Amino acid sequence: MNLTQTDSTISAATSGGARQDRGAKPIFPSSDAAILPLGSGVASFSQLVAKLAEYLTPAELKKIKEAYRFSDEMHLGQMRMSGEPYISHPIAVAEICADWKLDVQAIMAALLHDVMEDQDVKKDELIERFGPQVATLVDGLSKLEKIEFQSQIEAQAENFRKMLLAMARDVRVILIKLADRLHNMRTLGAMQPAKKRRIARETMEVYVPIAHRLGLNNLYRELQDLAFSHLYPVRYRTLTKAIKAARGNRREVVNKILDTVSGTLEAAGIKAEVYGREKTLFGIYRKMRSKHLSFSQVLDVYGFRVVVESFADCYVALGTLHALYKPMPGKFKDYIAIAKLNGYQSLHTTLIGPYGTPVEFQIRTQEMHRVAESGVAAHWLYKNNDGNLTDLQQRTHAWLQSLLDIQKQTGDSAEFLEHVKVDLFPDAVYVFTPKSKIIALPRGATALDFAYSIHTDVGDHTIAAKINHEQVPLRTELRNGDIVEIITSPSSRPSPNWLTFVRTGKARSAIRHHLRTINLAESIELGKRLLAQALTALELDPILPPELCEKLLNESSAKSLDELYADIGVGKRMATLVARHILSLIEGDAPPKLALDGSGSILARKVDPVAIYGSEGISVHIAPCCQPIPGDGIIGQLKRDQGITVHMADCELAKRQRTKEPDRWIDVTWAPEVNRRFECRITLLVKNEKGVLARVAAEIGESDANITAVSMDEDKDPQLMTQLRFTVQVENRIHLARLMRNVHRIPGVARILRERG
């Protein structure tokens, strides 16, 4: 039995001399120590070489030194915000990579990762000096030039997309990038407060979940605490003081549990190392926020880890602990039988310890412990001799491949990043195919997400789903242990309605890709009309000359005019902004010439409204709040990735939104010939008598209208009157008026009106 303690603040005062005599380590790692930079002072190249010499050959070390000399030469004279020579940063990044024992190309790329971005070194030069592998890694780590982007957010999203796609092709890219971000977060103190918060928020939203998804748990926890310290510095300091005080107050309980557990396991013949462990500051803070607790109410600040020798010992140790302390119902999780998405394996159980305190235990083998701490990096030098991928590497490879699938179906950087963020959420549900294969999906995933996780073609042709052998709606959320079966049909196609409930990025991007493809012609046509309207408002010719089109495409990220029109049609670009850009290209930087009236006020030129035909597909949506139909006065709202949403002109919701974003509203009108039917809601107050519902439904059918939904208001007195609500499909206001007159004549119908909100 090896008893290992892990906290210097407690070790000096632990009970009994024996533990001190054995040279025990501290029981809990200090939260302060966890966020300090590695080593003291500025990182040195000699320390890096000493660390690399443990696993690289002399020939490989020579290549490392060449990369260092080149990087040092390129960054000569460049300083960090803290006043240190800039070269200290690449060395520190390489040192973190060396802790993961990454290969020679990765270490060289870590030393060179900023030369392309900061010193304008070309990729061809890196290929010539250091080879194509190193050059490709450095290129994947370099940000794009900040041109062609309409906003800082779009530029940031495109940089993330480039990095993630490079990662999908070579996981070393993200490992180096995470090391880069870790050192930047450790040395963020010299930045301005606003920049600190921006970088910390970006770290929490993107890099922390990526580290978790790849199983880099030590990195994940440190990045979380570092980001927390810069986002909420006062809360961080307050919580740090509270934890230091709690260590002293709870020392007796911790020592008693350690002694009792170690003695019990030894008596049962189980060789084990027992570690005390402290939750991260951010983990404690998150629990306090989510459960509305004070710090004193968070009882499980400390937990214990039991590391045993074999797989079987994990379950024997679990039984031994359950015999020692009473387990809490519903607090046992077996991540050995079903590993987490990132390869993590352990048994988790919460027991009622001494003095009634709940205590969490994690039980695992040495191999599981290594993977739990280092994830993908743990397998870097431990590949199977036969060349096959480990189970963890296969899962990681499958996720990275899904990034490439999403990229193929997504044309927009911000949308791509949105999909990836969704898939980075750590919570997951584990379900089974009919052949008992385990599929892991994000929490909240639906049966349709399951279909797309099998294959895009399966998702596109899904018509129904069965969960545990019972047919369910496609929007049904999955639960752990569900057996899911998908029913497909060659004639089935994705519906825009699916976007309202799918959860995974892969499903969402596949549905949007399909809808864009089948409605591309309509989106292009609508985009042309919107741009023509915007150009006319600026007194410009809607027909653009070829040389102007070429200049416009050169300064935008669109590859063709049709792509530009389609982006406008689906709301990715605003027609007014594109029109103003065209005006600036025509007149240079000179302000536009505006017509003035006699008093000096600007004359507004009358612009023809955009005609709505009803066949524009996903480019035009009818607002569900007011459900306008032909004959109603209407107005259009431009929404990103949704095209135009058509509201009634007097819609209260539209009025409120128009005051907030007036630039996103345009004049629209119904086309002379509208080629579809539209839904609207009608409410009837009827006498509660036999056959009234059947008579009303029959009359609606006789009036050439279709019923899509019906409901009854239960608030009315059922003995006297009942309120019925119908959603019907009609051609226009004249058709609706005729239907309402016919229904009103039915005996028993006291009142009928159209709902408008």
List, by residue number, the catalytic residues.
117-118
The rounded distance, in Å, linking the Cα atoms of 378 and 386 is 18
The rounded distance, in Å, linking the Cα atoms of 513 and 531 is 23
The rounded distance, in Å, linking the Cα atoms of 707 and 727 is 6
Three-state helix/strand/coil letters over 421-454: HHHCCCCEEEEECCCCCEEEEECCCEHHHHHHHH
Cα distances from 644 to residues 531, 561, 585, 627, 670, in angstroms, run: 13, 20, 27, 14, 13
> 467 Cβ partners below 8 Å, 6+ apart?
447, 476, 478, 482, 483, 484, 485
Residue pair 230/190 in contact (Cβ under 8 Å)? The answer is no
Query: What type of residue sits at position 184?
Result: N
Read off the tokens for 487: 């029913």
The rounded distance, in Å, linking the Cα atoms of 14 and 25 is 11
The rounded distance, in Å, linking the Cα atoms of 116 and 142 is 6
Q: What is the DSSP string of 288-318?
A: HHHHT--GGG---SEEEEEEESSHHHHHHHH
Q: Is 483 left (phi over 0), alpha (psi -120 to 50) or beta?
A: beta
Read off the tokens for 279: 């939750």
Closest CA to 304 of 268, 351, 270, 237: 351
The rounded distance, in Å, linking the Cα atoms of 47 and 37 is 14
From first CA to last CA, the distance across the chain in angstroms is 71
Instruction: Please report how many Cα atoms fall inside a 13 Å half-sphere around the Cα of residue 234, on the Cβ side.
Output: 0
Read off the tokens for 160: 């993330």
The rounded distance, in Å, linking the Cα atoms of 384 and 390 is 7
Bridge partner residues of 596 (DSSP)? 602
Neighbour count for residue 337 (Cβ, 10 Å): 11
The rounded distance, in Å, linking the Cα atoms of 553 and 149 is 12
Q: What is the largest CA-CA distance in the chain?
A: 101
Q: What is the DSSP letter of 10?
A: H
Q: What is the DSSP letter of 615?
A: -
Q: Decide: helix, strand or coil at residue 689.
A: coil
Read off the tokens for 200: 């910390």
Strands 721-730, 706-713: pairing kind: antiparallel
Please, what is the Cα angle at 203 between 201 and 209, to 5 degrees?
115
Read off the tokens for 91: 């060395």
The rounded distance, in Å, linking the Cα atoms of 523 and 543 is 18
Q: Decide: helix, strand or coil at residue 462.
A: strand
699, burial (CB in 10 Å: exposed 0-12, middle 13-18, buried 19+): middle
Read off the tokens for 528: 């042309």
> 751 Cβ partners below 8 Å, 6+ apart?
684, 685
Residue pair 197/185 in contact (Cβ under 8 Å)? The answer is no
The rounded distance, in Å, linking the Cα atoms of 457 and 721 is 51
